[in-house]
Structure 1
Amino acid sequence: MLSRLEGARVGSRYGASLKSRSQLRGFLPVVCLAGRQSSEGGLGETSKTRFAIVGAGFAGLGVCWNLLRQLKEEQGLRHRGGKIEIDVYDAHGVGSGASAVAAGILHPLNTRGNVTWRGVEAMNETLALMKQIDRWRQEKLPNDGNEAILRQTGVLKVAKSEKDLERFERIKAERRGEIELHVVRGAEAATGRGDDCRGKAPGYMYTPHAYAVNSPKYLELLEGVCHSMAGEGRDVSLRLCKTLVPSLEMLEGQGYTTIIICAGAAVGTIKELRGKFPLRLSETFGVELETALSTKAVASPEDRGLLASIDCDPSLLGQTYVVKQPEDKAVLGAVHSEEQVDPEDALGSRYCHIADGLDDRAQVVNREKMMAMASRLLEKSDTIFPGLLQGYELSSVHCGVRALPPKSEEGRLPVCGKINDKTWYLLGLGARGLLYHAYLSKRLVDAILVEDESKLPQEVTRLTREGETGGRE
């Protein structure tokens, strides 16, 4: 398995998603330098309201979009008077951290098949945002091509035992009316392909409410729509500041009205916030394959009646996941390194592209580690879905650092709240950035504009309420 990676080069993915942005001509970001000052006063100007957003991944761009949405709808911002400035800081640009290597699977279930905290509501808000972005693209970028950002695939969770099936039935009953779930029982349901069935399973659970997302393209368009919305307001400016924020003091010295920290696992690179949140940093690896596999093969032919009516291959959910992509591609994830991870490691993602023609600017780093983690993931996936991964070609390996929040009664939930009168945060989205970024960024912006933290769901403000910002999990 390792031999398939021979000759591969490993490089930085910093800025990789910016390559096709020449189409956004009027909306390209301006690079800001640390220490830039904004003059107060001016022609007819009475004041400025200045926002600094640290982080340009799912959370940071979600916050940016919601600030601009409030402005466009003439809610919350215009009453402040004067001009509005929004600066988004990220050392390497949009989607350069864990968001850049997200598998792109949007659904409301956890790995055990349970519906996550407010999962259906959060998924629907992400879908609504993506549909708005797609409408904007059709209007503003008619020549952008046919690269879809969203495809409905559904997701399938194979049962390992009769006990799993009983739990699936309970979930279905409890969530009736909230989400469509199907539980298929069958003694011959197999976790293998055709006649090559090395394992048997008693059935599976399936929901059509799951989507494959082209994450880099989505982030590219989300940035574009933010610049477009800012351009529609005479008194609004939006800048992407490609510089590292080493401290809150640096931002406070520039006169920002509000600072919003959405730096993910890199939050520890901000001096005052290092070690302040109980987030466990996890170096996470995934791979992309070229393969003609059909994920429907995890069920035996006799139990595919439900799946036969589905035009596409469903994503597979478990301790590893499989997301089938167009053009005979599939994304697998994820495995985690056991090594200590520093916040500085989270400033960018890494990728290992197997094909020739890698950008000469890419830096060769950690080649052996990337190869070893790819092999480990493929072997683990073959154990969970026996016989499924056959005849594939490995295309790439990717790696990013996630910030995992502590466990709570509702599971691992993001953390969101207020540090002081000027500084707020949205952190710890972990593996659920796609699911929660639209939902929580909207509520965070609503809370910021009325300066009332109680507008946030109490489950995600527990760090503030319980005074837990002094340690780690």
Structure 2
Amino acid sequence: MSFIIRSDWIWRCPGAVGQTHRGRGSASRVCPSSSLAQSQSRPLRYAVLGAGFAGLSVVWHLLKHSPKELNLSIDLYDEVGIGGGASGVSGGLLHPYSPKVKLLWQGAECWNECLKLLSIAETAALAFGEPNSEIGDPAQKFSNFVVRRRGILRPATNVRTLDALNHNAQNSLSSCRIETIGRDTAQGLVPDICLPLNTAFYMPDAVTVHPPHYLQGLFLACKNLVKELSASGFGGKELCLHQKSITSLLELEGEYDAVIICVGAKADMLPELSGKLPLRTCRGVIAHMQLPDFIGEYYPDHGPSILSDAWLAVQGSRSLLMGSTKEWKSRNSSPIVSADEASKALEELLPKASAIYPGMKNWSFTGARAGLRALPPMTPNGSPPLLGCVDNLVGTTHACKYWLFGGLGSRGLLYHGWFGKLVAQAVLACSENIIPSEVTSWKNVNT
């Protein structure tokens, strides 16, 4: 299949050194730590595949952690555009704990790094004032939130979960604390909420993110960073967004010093990696719900989002997302949801949501989107993502170096900041040793 080109955008700053030569066979591997890289006559060229959580985090950190004097050119590929895949469809509930509120492996590092990126993206989004066709509607001014600071509430629904929640709440992070609360306090946050065991666990520091707006803001921040670094008078920086479908890694061979694969479930659909990655796929449908105007009651302005058998990600007093279904082993990556699929999703999700928040019965369905998640295998450290150099899977005779950042699963928002930083540092140093062995050991099992 040939490339399907919908747009080709380049952000090149005045004073950027080097040309964006795309002739095959012109690239050779150069590490920024070498004197050759510092005196290069052309930019060091990287391709990042995927403009979701993983891809944009890698782009930001490649720019942020590359030497100022380095001439660096990054091509960002995504057939749909910024946040057009599973990342942009996700619910955006952010906290550093597992479903049983146990702190995830490296949860503190991931939480802190994610908060930094959220702040960076929000700052860029708030300063955004000019039309920009590369990130969506030219008229959009980020009128809706990027980060909604409102907390997350998790009711205890059975004795087993209650015991686990009580135990792990005692070991919560100071920066994202967990409070054990009773029915009265919970109903003060969300009137009429039902607590089967009269207990809930409240994370007041957790946040609800608007993923499309966040990803657009982070992309804007990357653009601003390119401009800032190039204006410094040292090495030139370039960032190009290509709305292209990449069907084979060999299509990029000879053009780049490194290719970083951040396409989620679609990584296994690349012929060079197909059947070689220990990933499980799961399609999830998320319903958009709206409270009709004739209903006088509304969700409290400062009420938290809710985690339960069906979660509720609050978007406003009369708007929320409800999710998510799980269709295991699906290969359907389309965000489009058919009427039949939407109907089945509502039949599954509404009873679960209404059991905790009965008011959901008054809300109307306004649409649905779906995403295909890629989940890694279980390990003693939970299910951390898959990272590392995959030259041995693609083939060791290629001119450039191939890296994978995948398998983020349902924790992509939490994982993308810290692990994206590690991947970027490893790419710049041409060394996998920077990355913890816990997220690269999957290659040893695979081979």
Give the TM bin, normalised by the shorter chain: 0.7 to 0.9
Instruction: Tell me which residue corresponds to 1:459.
Output: 438
Contact 1:295–1:315 (8 Å) recurs in 2 = no
Contact 2:290–2:366 (8 Å) recurs in 1 = yes
Residue 469 (structure 1) aligned with residue 446 (structure 2): yes
Contact 2:176–2:206 (8 Å) recurs in 1 = no
Q: Give the Cα–Cα distance (whole angstroms) in 1 for the partners of residues 340 and 44 of structure 2.
A: 49
Q: Give the Cα–Cα distance (whole angstroms) in 2 for the partners of residues 176 and 95 of structure 1.
A: 30
Structure 2 counterpart of 1:350, from 310, 332, 336: 336
Q: Give the Cα–Cα distance (whole angstroms) in 1 for the partners of residues 290 and 110 of structure 2.
A: 31
- Flag structure 2 segments of 5+ consecutive residues without an equivalent: 14-20, 28-38, 132-140, 392-399
Offset, 1:188: 11
Structure 2 counterpart of 1:341, from 330, 334, 345: 330
Contact 1:53–1:87 (8 Å) recurs in 2 = yes
Letter of the 2:222 partner, please give it: C
Instruction: Tell me which residue corresponds to 1:430.
Output: 409
CA-to-aligned-CA distance 1:249-282 (integer Å, 9 cap, x gap)? 211132x101111010111221100111111111
SS of the residue 2:446 aligns to: coil
Offset, 1:186: 5.9
Letter of the 1:267 partner, please give it: A
Instruction: Tell me which residue corresponds to 1:270.
Output: 270
SS of the residue 1:156 aligns to: strand
Residue 225 (structure 1) aligned with residue 211 (structure 2): no
Instruction: Tell me which residue corresponds to 1:253.
Output: 254
Residue 84 (structure 1) aligned with residue 81 (structure 2): no
**Normalising by structure 1, what TM-score?**
0.75
Q: Give the Cα–Cα distance (whole angstroms) in 1 for the partners of residues 220 and 184 of structure 2.
A: 51
* Mapping 1:416-427, distance limit 5 Å: 416-420=387-391, 422-427=401-406
Q: Give the Cα–Cα distance (whole angstroms) in 2 for the partners of residues 447 and 196 of structure 1.
A: 47
Letter of the 2:335 partner, please give it: S
CA-to-aligned-CA distance 1:10-51 (integer Å, 9 cap, x gap)? xxxx999x9xxx9x9999xxxxxxx9427969xx96233110
Letter of the 1:430 partner, please give it: G
CA-to-aligned-CA distance 1:318-353 (integer Å, 9 cap, x gap)? 222111112411111111125x423xx32x4225xx
Letter of the 1:238 partner, please give it: L
CA-to-aligned-CA distance 1:270-321 (integer Å, 9 cap, x gap)? 110011111111111111111377778xxxxxxxxxxxxxx61111112221
Residue 374 (structure 1) aligned with residue 346 (structure 2): yes
Residue 449 (structure 1) aligned with residue 428 (structure 2): yes
Letter of the 2:88 partner, please give it: A
Moved more, 146-155 or 368-377: 368-377
Instruction: Tell me which residue corresponds to 2:137.
Output: none
Structure 2 counterpart of 1:37, from 12, 16, 23: 23
CA-to-aligned-CA distance 1:189-234 (integer Å, 9 cap, x gap)? 89xx97896x732311111121111111111122222223223426
Residue 401 (structure 1) aligned with residue 372 (structure 2): yes
Instruction: Tell me which residue corresponds to 2:418.
Output: 439
Residue 181 (structure 1) aligned with residue 181 (structure 2): no
CA-to-aligned-CA distance 1:345-371 (integer Å, 9 cap, x gap)? 32x4225xxxxxxxxxxxxxx332232
Question: Identity, % of aligned pairs?
Answer: 28
Instruction: Tell me which residue corresponds to 1:10.
Output: none
Contact 2:12–2:238 (8 Å) recurs in 1 = no
Q: Give the Cα–Cα distance (whole angstroms) in 2 for the partners of residues 240 and 326 of structure 1.
A: 32
Instruction: Tell me which residue corresponds to 2:210.
Output: 214
SS of the residue 2:275 aligns to: coil
Instruction: Tell me which residue corresponds to 2:51.
Output: 56
Contact 1:418–1:425 (8 Å) recurs in 2 = yes
* Mapping 1:386-397, distance limit 5 Å: 387-397=358-368
SS of the residue 1:288 aligns to: strand
Residue 282 (structure 1) aligned with residue 292 (structure 2): no
Instruction: Tell me which residue corresponds to 1:168.
Output: 165
**Normalising by structure 2, what TM-score?**
0.79
Q: Give the Cα–Cα distance (whole angstroms) in 2 for the partners of residues 177 and 251 of structure 1.
A: 45
Q: Give the Cα–Cα distance (whole angstroms) in 1 for the partners of residues 108 and 330 of structure 2.
A: 32
Contact 2:180–2:200 (8 Å) recurs in 1 = yes
Structure 1 counterpart of 2:307, from 306, 317, 322: 317
Q: Give the Cα–Cα distance (whole angstroms) in 2 for the partners of residues 189 and 148 of structure 1.
A: 24
- Flag structure 1 segments of 5+ consecutive residues without an equivalent: 1-13, 28-34, 297-310, 352-365
Contact 2:11–2:223 (8 Å) recurs in 1 = no
Contact 1:282–1:337 (8 Å) recurs in 2 = yes
SS of the residue 2:201 aligns to: strand
CA-to-aligned-CA distance 1:49-68 (integer Å, 9 cap, x gap)? 11011111110111011111
Q: Give the Cα–Cα distance (whole angstroms) in 1 for the partners of residues 153 and 330 of structure 2.
A: 32
* Mapping 1:68-79, distance limit 5 Å: 68-71=63-66, 74=67, 78=69
Q: Give the Cα–Cα distance (whole angstroms) in 1 for the partners of residues 442 and 123 of structure 2.
A: 38
Q: Give the Cα–Cα distance (whole angstroms) in 2 for the partners of residues 243 and 15 of structure 1.
A: 5
Contact 2:26–2:254 (8 Å) recurs in 1 = no
Change beyond 3 A, Cα 1:40–1:181 = same
Contact 2:299–2:316 (8 Å) recurs in 1 = no
Change beyond 3 A, Cα 1:331–1:26 = farther
Change beyond 3 A, Cα 1:168–1:449 = same
Change beyond 3 A, Cα 1:242–1:176 = closer
Change beyond 3 A, Cα 1:186–1:241 = closer
* Mapping 1:132-151, distance limit 5 Å: 132-139=120-127, 141=129, 144=141, 146-151=143-148
Offset, 1:402: 0.5
Letter of the 1:458 partner, please give it: S
Q: How many residues align?
A: 399
Q: Give the Cα–Cα distance (whole angstroms) in 2 for the partners of residues 407 and 92 of structure 1.
A: 30
Offset, 1:136: 2.9
CA-to-aligned-CA distance 1:405-427 (integer Å, 9 cap, x gap)? 11112222111111127111100
Residue 413 (structure 1) aligned with residue 413 (structure 2): no
